[in-house]
Amino acid sequence: MDMGLTKDDLDVRARAREFREKFLFPNEEELDEHDHLPEATESQIRQGVLDYRLNAINHAREFGGQAMTMVQQCIVNEEVGAATNALWGRVWQPPVCLQDGTPEQIEKYLIPACRGELRTSFCTSEPTAGSDAGGVKTAAVIDGNHYVINGEKCFASNAEFADLNLLTTIVDSDPTKPTLFLIDKGTAGFNVRCLPRFAQRSGHGHPELDIEDMRVPTTQILGEVGKGYELTKDWFVEARLAIAARSIGMAIRATELALEWAREREQFGQAIINFQAVEFMIAEMATDIMAGKSMLYRVAQEIDSDLDRKTAHAKASAIKLFCSEAGFRVVDKAVQIFGGRGTMCENPVERLTRDVRLERIWEGTSEIQKMVMGGQIRKRGLDMYTGWD
């Protein structure tokens, strides 16, 4: 297997790196302080995404995307993921399952989303259905040519302003019929109950929703009745690899900053890089980064070589688990090297601490990834994770 980057891969990396340093890094502290950016700044960032050809990297050119390989998607997410306060979210990647819509749905939703003209939200989690996706209770009942939907959602990231919400339901209160609906902004019965405050200040929230007697045309189903989890699984593979790549990007930035500080900071008459305690921490940080990048890009290449869906889903869990946990270990060591200065909000490593902590939770906690892996090992053996053809 050739693990080297192609000329196109290197071009993607250069563009993503230049973009983040021009449009993301300069806006970190203002976003952290005010929890929002001026609309003029947001507009500049959106135009920058388009100018640097980083919009909809996960979709085909026929839909207005960049048709990047999985390796290239990981490169972009690694580079922009180093920006604090989830500024990486400004580089929009519409849910991959939208490509399974009807021609009319693709025209109405996917193509504008790829252009950055339509913002999306995925509404799945509920008070009783977080890690247990099968515990969804939001129910859709047929009524003529409409469905009437009732339920509640939480951690519905961006739903307070999204133009399109992908809503996970069960049809006829039957857990064997998980179904995704496309909900337009302003649909009657789709209500934001509250907008909790979180540690991360990103300019968007994770609201709690009440769905009350919401009438939705049958034409707003994405895919087929009962196929919701299959569509969600494809999205999970992509999302988990993106999390892994972002975690590596955060870890690299934290290590670079810690190394620079360790070379400058003097105690007991010498730079602290010369002390074995610090040197060992940096060595451990480098090892975690190297290991994470190796597994991430190896599997990304396998996916680009048509790895089957079930295997990709299983391996994505291992990658998300290791990289998010490793990223947290690395950033935590960076804070330790900085000492008290590592807890100052003006220091990127403090903000990275808040960001990377979330990566161990959303799109499946570390414990859920272990459950996925354990199930795969029971059914298919260790070769799923230890083999290499």
Can you list the domains of the chain with their CATH numbers? 7-115 (1.10.540.10), 120-222 (2.40.110.10), 229-386 (1.20.140.10)
CA atoms within 13 A on the CB side of 21: 7
pLDDT-derived band at 381 (thresholds 50, 70, 90) equals very high
pLDDT at 129 over 90: no
**pLDDT tens, 141-175?**
999 999 999 999 999 999 999 999 999 999 998 99
Region 349-371: what's the mean pLDDT? 95
| Residues in CB range of 196: below 8 A, 6 or more apart | 205, 206, 207, 208
The pair of structure tokens assigned to 235 is: 């999205």
**Gap between the terminal Cα atoms of the chain:** 10
Q: For residue 288, which of 337, 321, 261, 335 has the smallest C-alpha distance?
A: 321
| Residues in CB range of 61: below 8 A, 6 or more apart | 67
In this prediction, residue 4 carries a pLDDT of 85
Share of the chain above pLDDT 90, in %: 88
Strand pairing class (208-217; 190-194): antiparallel
Residue reference for tokens 């819509």: 101
In this prediction, residue 342 carries a pLDDT of 96
pLDDT at 78 over 90: yes
Region 179-196: what's the mean pLDDT? 96
Distance of CA 134 to the CA centre of its chain: 21
Region 21-31: what's the mean pLDDT? 97
The DSSP-derived string for 287-298 is HHHHHHHHHHHH
Give the least confident one: 61-70, 79-88, 221-230. Answer: 221-230
In this prediction, residue 1 carries a pLDDT of 58
pLDDT-derived band at 204 (thresholds 50, 70, 90) equals confident
Give the least confident one: 197-206, 208-217, 251-260. Answer: 197-206
In this prediction, residue 107 carries a pLDDT of 98
Mean pLDDT of the chain: 95
pLDDT at 132 over 70: yes
Taking the C-alpha atoms of residue 171 and residue 11, their distance in angstroms, rounded to an integer, is 46
Instruction: Check: CB of residue 24 under 8 Å from CB of residue 90.
Output: yes
pLDDT at 133 over 80: no
Q: Which residues pair with 144 in a beta bridge?
A: none
Region 2-31: what's the mean pLDDT? 95
Known catalytic residues are 363
CA quadruple 71, 201, 288, 238: dihedral positive or negative? negative
**pLDDT tens, 298-310?**
999 999 999 998 8
